[in-house]
Amino acid sequence: MNDLQIKINPKVELVFNNYPDSVRDNMLSLCNLIIETAKEIDIVTHLEETLKWGEPSYLTKHGSTIRMDWKSKSPNQYAMYFQCTSRLVETFKMVFKNTLNFEGKRAIIFKIGEDIPIEALKYCIKSALIYHKVKHLPTLGI
């Protein structure tokens, strides 16, 4: 594990605190999984936690932005979002079609109350955090 420097925007904590009780722990688990995964990647030395479109977002020097959110219009699910112009979700669908649920070219969808397939999701997170280093590989190094 590397010595990861995390730049935190205090407004992100407010967003997490405003999620309903039914989803807050799920959202914090996604956040913790991103940080844990970033610590396992040698070339990721800095992680920025910020807000993009009012949603908790994570950025690295060599990566593509990862966002996450819960929306009241779909109260039984929450999601991790990726840049739709990247090959990320397209590749995740190829590799994890029987393990993860997707929405278009931009998101992995999770149902509240269901277990998250941690190992598969960590591969997805890693690919996003180092996307600019692996985007030339057929399956992004997964």
Q: What is the pLDDT of residues 15-26, one digit of tens each?
A: 999 999 999 999
Task: Tell me how far CA of residue 6 lies from CA of 17, 23, 37, 58, in angstroms.
Answer: 20, 24, 13, 10
Phi, psi of 2 (to 5 degrees): -95, 175
Looking at residue 115, what DSSP letter applies?
A: P
Biggest CA-to-CA distance, the chain: 41
Q: Mind listing the pLDDT tens digit for each residue in 67-121?
A: 999 999 999 999 999 999 999 999 999 999 999 999 999 999 999 999 999 999 9
Closest CA to 66 of 105, 106, 93: 106
What domains does the chain contain, in order, with CATH numbers? 5-134 (3.90.1150.200)
